[in-house]
């Protein structure tokens, strides 16, 4: 019988820790087989998988013998935690085994226990920003027991809590201040001076953790500092933490269903900077935030509201702000009776760092959320000791049965999770069976009653459960459906948008069962360069069997643009579900019951350019999946993907061609001599087109993303109403500049407001859009004339702009060149275009090694 192993690893800090252990089911123990710790020095993504592969090879442990994967969840470096997490999700998904998450700090504690340390242990992990993650443990003969929950605190503040801050006259630290020698065992100094005889304030306290590399002097008087080798997670510590969770019934490594990789998430303990700043701003009852009430369009200062958009139910969700407190109190009085909170109590909640409050507003799904939108629901929670206590959940009776309470609870839980919460608890009236049914559906269970808890003497039912989750909706890109075989051996791939229905040759029709070499190779491609998590499967004939996208736009809209930290977090949350959905849809297209990672011929992923934190998730996951499935890895340049997107709209398209690549981050003209052979003719010297659209939309208070909403208003306006400048129209080269145009538009908007005139939003949008299009078309015409290319193509999110597409159609007709445009659904970021590139790279044998990393920049002209 094959051995059953657990593979455990952690990259929460500068050290890669890996452990391989053999599982003993009857005794619920793990027998270490091999462990290794390696200094990564910000190179975890390049070293982790090669080290895992090497360890398994040396231990003669085959991939198929791995029964479970264990990963350190943090807290620690956000990027470091996500590297291990994404890699673990990829490996577990491909191996079809469970994924168990353990605390990185627990692994440190168990490592110290394994080294023979006993007593009270304080683990101090570096949280950056001069902060630490402090957790206390008791190390006894039976193991390590956690005594405190995860939290983040300034290093100096925590040192004061321990009574060992530098210069504290009341601290015993002064007894050894003249020596400068910390108390520790073999760590920072090999020889202790007279301080050896000094007693720290807590002589039985052991201290470890990588924060000591920065703050040893702050904590040297608090206890005994352990050797540096015990400051970070170890392979043995991870295996012991895993074993402890197994024996405590918190996990079952042999039950893959219970431990779906999608549900394991990092420990963060704080919100992103953007969210923290937003909370501070919204807690202030500043009338300027409200904008001009009664105005047809919200003002540029009203970003707290304007950037939210309603869902299909006509409901928009935003963190609660101080100006809506009166509405909360009024709704409280209506539905909570004598237990209602007044305005003062609600206002007091908003400014607290350990509170989370969300609200729901009724709104027009087609318009930005107005400052006049009525509040129809609210929910709040208090995060304490790893639990979020739901303080309030209220919904306007007229808006019930729209799922508002469920979404609000999920939003509160999402923020609470990022503040370190692991569970949720609440009280509900014993008579409120409807609410109890909702909570039970979310996983809450009754723990008992609190007699006469409410003001009228009614009992409260105490309920506790897991944190409700928010799942990004993964949808087929362009309403993609399974291909069906026709009599002449062609497959019709149906989508939305112009040119989106094409006939794709697929000799032999749909494959079935395990075989059909006619559809080989099968490649799954992943895209995560910005704020879309996407996956697609392509077959050997170039037919996209599935193309799935999960957009994060709702999570970024309230900030007026993409927040890199939030994007990275959402990619981690959604990547498993997106890939699972993608495989299921591809299986349906093939006429199979299922498609597994091991059935693929390769795994592809966008590696550059883009947001590094976002790219890292996709790259680490793809590498893990490729290793787990034992398949080749293919890396793809994101910009090249946009060029290949034109094949999705017209499969017989071939270079040479001039391509206009316009998106939120790029504006360039490219001469495509052949697939893989590109020359950049000109690019923007400042803002990209998509960025300019977003900034103008923000100035008008129209929300995010700016492109679609500006196009909507522009369709009703006069493009000649305002003479905005055409920057670099006659520069003599093919470069672009959007910054001056953006500034001119914003200046015009501010001037109209100062003059007290109502903004002619349609005319502003139409005139701005015309200025952008005129320059883009003029430069494109010049590029075609200079190169003599017979074809002109588009790529990038802005390529979906109707005015731009119409102008290019007219220009190409005048120049006598062929126009090829990708389907509307394939203009933005998607994995279908990455899959198209990957297929050519597969045929050319251009595979990547497992030490490849994500890159913020990627030169389109350079082979890779």
308 and 402 in a single domain? The answer is yes
Rounded CA-CA distance 165/153 in Å is 14
Rounded CA-CA distance 490/493 in Å is 10
pLDDT at 120 over 90: yes
- pTM value? 0.88
Rounded CA-CA distance 184/190 in Å is 9
203 and 305 in a single domain? The answer is no
Do the domain assignments include residue 826?
A: no
Do the domain assignments include residue 434?
A: no
pLDDT at 177 over 90: no
pLDDT score, position 137: 98
Domain end, chosen from 635, 653, 671, is at 653
Give the closest residue to 7 by CA, choosing from 58, 61, 79, 80.
61
279 and 197 in a single domain? The answer is no
Spatial contact of 748 and 794, defined as CB atoms under 8 Å apart: no
pLDDT score, position 516: 54
Q: What is the pLDDT of residues 389-419, one digit of tens each?
A: 999 999 999 998 899 999 999 999 999 999 9
Q: What is the pLDDT of residues 796-813, one digit of tens each?
A: 999 999 999 999 999 999
301-305, 740-744, 756-760, 784-788: which has the minimum mean pLDDT? 301-305
676-682 long-range contacts (CB < 8 A, ≥24 apart) are 676/640, 676/840, 676/863, 678/640, 678/643, 678/860, 678/861, 679/861, 680/860, 680/861, 681/734, 681/783, 681/786, 681/787, 682/733, 682/734, 682/735, 682/736, 682/779, 682/783
Do the domain assignments include residue 456?
A: no
Chain Cα centroid distance, residue 596:
25
Do the domain assignments include residue 857?
A: no
485 and 511 in a single domain? The answer is yes
* Tokens linked to 740: 């001056």
Do the domain assignments include residue 861?
A: no
pLDDT at 300 over 90: no
Spatial contact of 803 and 714, defined as CB atoms under 8 Å apart: yes
Which residues are annotated binding-site positions for Fe cation?
638, 642, 829
Do the domain assignments include residue 835?
A: no
Give buried/exposed letters for 312-341 (b at 16+ CB in 10 A, else e).
eeebbbbbbbbbbbebbbebbeeeeeeebb
515 and 571 in a single domain? The answer is yes
Give the total number of structural domains in the chain.
Answer: 5
309 and 220 in a single domain? The answer is no
Chain Cα centroid distance, residue 359:
22
Do the domain assignments include residue 467?
A: no
Question: Is 345 exposed, middle or buried (CB count within 10 Å of its CB: 0-12, 13-18, 19+)?
Answer: middle
User: What is the domain-level CATH number for residue 277?
Assistant: 3.40.630.30
10 and 85 in a single domain? The answer is yes
Give the closest residue to 830 by CA, choosing from 614, 576, 571, 550.
550
Q: What is the pLDDT of residues 705-755, one digit of tens each?
A: 899 999 999 999 999 999 999 989 889 999 999 999 999 999 999 999 999
484 and 612 in a single domain? The answer is yes
| Strand bridging mode 502-505 / 657-662 | unpaired
pLDDT score, position 220: 85
pLDDT score, position 183: 36
* Tokens linked to 841: 């790279």
Q: What is the pLDDT of residues 144-164, one digit of tens each?
A: 999 999 999 999 999 998 875
Spatial contact of 799 and 618, defined as CB atoms under 8 Å apart: no
Which residues are annotated binding-site positions for substrate?
661-665, 694, 707, 801
| Average pLDDT taken over every residue of the chain | 87
Which residues are annotated binding-site positions?
638, 642, 661-665, 694, 707, 801, 829
Domain end, chosen from 380, 397, 419, is at 419
| Strand bridging mode 667-674 / 119-126 | unpaired
247 and 213 in a single domain? The answer is no
In terms of residue numbers, what domain contains 640? 474-653
Do the domain assignments include residue 844?
A: no
User: What is the domain-level CATH number for residue 617?
Assistant: 3.30.420.40
pLDDT score, position 289: 40
Q: How far is CA 589 from CA 487, 519, 542, 729, in A?
A: 17, 11, 14, 48
91 and 129 in a single domain? The answer is no
Domain end, chosen from 402, 419, 436, is at 419
Q: What is the pLDDT of residues 470-495, one digit of tens each?
A: 667 778 875 433 332 222 222 222 23
611 and 574 in a single domain? The answer is yes
715 and 778 in a single domain? The answer is yes
């Amino acid at each position: 019988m094959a051995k059953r192993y657990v593979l455990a690893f952690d990259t929460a800090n500068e050290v890669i820790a890996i452990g391989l252990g053999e599982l003993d089911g009857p005794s619920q123990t793990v027998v270490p087989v091999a462990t290794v710790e390696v200094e990564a020095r910000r190179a975890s993504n390049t070293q982790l998988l090669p080290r895992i592969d090497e360890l398994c090879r040396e231990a003669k442990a085959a991939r198929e013998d791995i029964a479970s994967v264990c990963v350190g969840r943090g807290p620690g470096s956000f990027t470091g935690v996500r590297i291990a997490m994404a890699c673990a999700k990829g490996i577990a998904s491909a191996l079809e085994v469970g994924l168990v998450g353990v605390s990185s700090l627990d692994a440190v504690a168990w490592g110290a226990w394994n080294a023979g340390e006993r007593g009270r242990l304080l683990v101090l992990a570096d949280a950056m920003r001069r902060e630490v993650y402090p957790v206390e443990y008791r190390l006894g003969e039976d193991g390590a027991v956690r005594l405190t929950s995860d939290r983040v605190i300034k290093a100096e503040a925590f040192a004061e809590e321990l009574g060992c801050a530098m210069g504290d006259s009341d601290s015993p630290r002064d007894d050894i201040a003249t020596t400068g020698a910390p108390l520790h065992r073999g760590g920072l100094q090999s020889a202790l001076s007279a301080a050896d005889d000094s007693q720290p304030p807590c002589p039985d306290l052991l201290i470890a953790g990588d924060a000591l590399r920065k703050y040893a002097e702050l904590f040297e008087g608090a206890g005994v500092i352990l050797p540096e080798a015990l400051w970070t997670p170890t392979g043995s510590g991870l295996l012991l933490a895993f074993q402890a969770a197994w024996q405590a019934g918190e996990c079952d490594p042999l039950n893959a269903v219970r431990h779906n990789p999608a549900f394991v998430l990092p420990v963060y303990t704080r919100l992103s900077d953007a969210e923290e700043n937003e909370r501070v701003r919204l807690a202030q009852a500043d009338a300027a935030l409200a904008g001009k009430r009664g105005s047809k369009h919200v003002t540029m200062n009203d970003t707290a509201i304007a950037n939210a958009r309603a869902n299909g139910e006509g409901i928009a969700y935003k963190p609660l702000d101080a100006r809506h407190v009166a509405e909360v109190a009024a709704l409280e009085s209506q539905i909570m009776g004598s237990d209602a909170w007044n305005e003062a109590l609600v206002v007091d909640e908003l400014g607290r760092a350990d509170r989370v409050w969300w609200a729901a507003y009724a709104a027009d799904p087609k318009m930005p959320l107005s400052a006049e939108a009525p509040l129809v629901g609210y929910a709040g929670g208090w995060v304490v000791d790893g639990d979020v206590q739901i303080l309030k959940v209220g919904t306007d009776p007229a808006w019930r049965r729209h799922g508002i309470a469920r979404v609000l609870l999920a939003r509160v839980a999402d923020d609470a999770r990022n503040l370190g919460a692991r569970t949720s608890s609440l009280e509900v009236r014993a008579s409120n069976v409807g609410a109890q049914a909702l909570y039970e559906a979310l996983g809450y269970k009754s723990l008992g009653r609190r007699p006469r808890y409410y003001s009228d003497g009614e009992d409260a039912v105490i309920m506790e459960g897991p944190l409700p989750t928010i799942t990004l909706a993964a949808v087929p890109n362009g309403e993609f459906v399974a291909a069906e075989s026709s009599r002449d051996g062609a497959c019709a791939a149906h989508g939305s948008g112009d040119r989106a229905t094409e006939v794709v040759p697929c000799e032999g029709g749909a494959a079935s069962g395990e075989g059909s070499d006619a559809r080989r190779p099968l490649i799954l491609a992943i895209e995560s360069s910005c704020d879309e998590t996407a996956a697609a499967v392509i077959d050997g004939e170039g037919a996209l069997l599935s193309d799935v996208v999960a957009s994060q736009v709702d999570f970024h809209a309230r900030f007026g643009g993409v927040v890199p930290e939030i994007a990275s977090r959402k990619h981690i949350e959604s990547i498993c579900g997106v890939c699972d959905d993608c495989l299921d849809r591809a299986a349906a297209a093939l006429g199979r019951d299922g498609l597994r990672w091991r059935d693929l011929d390769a795994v592809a992923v966008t590696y550059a350019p883009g947001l590094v934190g976002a790219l890292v998730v996709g790259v680490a996951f793809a590498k893990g999946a490729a290793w787990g499935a034992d398949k080749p890895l293919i890396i793809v340049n994101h910009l090249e993907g946009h060029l290949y997107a034109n094949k999705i709209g017209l499969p017989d398209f071939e270079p040479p061609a001039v391509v206009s690549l316009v998106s939120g981050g790029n504006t360039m003209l490219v001469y495509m001599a052949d697939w893989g052979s590109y020359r950049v003719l000109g690019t923007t010297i400042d803002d990209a087109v998509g960025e300019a659209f977003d900034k103008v939309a923000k100035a008008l208070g129209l929300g995010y993303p700016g492109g679609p909403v500006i196009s909507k208003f522009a369709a009703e306006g006069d493009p000649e109403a305002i003479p905005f400048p055409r920057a670099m129209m006659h520069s003599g080269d093919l470069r672009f500049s959007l910054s001056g145009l953006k500034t001119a538009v914003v200046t015009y908007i501010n001037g109209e407001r100062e003059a007290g005139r109502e903004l002619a939003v349609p005319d502003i949008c139409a005139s701005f859009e015309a200025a952008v299009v005129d320059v883009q078309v003029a430069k494109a015409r010049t590029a075609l004339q200079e190169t003599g290319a017979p074809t002109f193509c588009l790529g990038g999110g802005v390529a979906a702009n109707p005015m731009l597409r119409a102008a290019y159609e007219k220009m190409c007709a005048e120049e006598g060149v062929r126009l090829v445009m990708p389907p509307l659904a394939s203009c933005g970021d998607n994995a279908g275009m990455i899959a198209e590139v990957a297929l050519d790279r597969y045929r050319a044998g251009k595979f990547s090694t497992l030490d490849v990393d994500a890159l913020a920049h990627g030169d389109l002209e350079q082979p890779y």
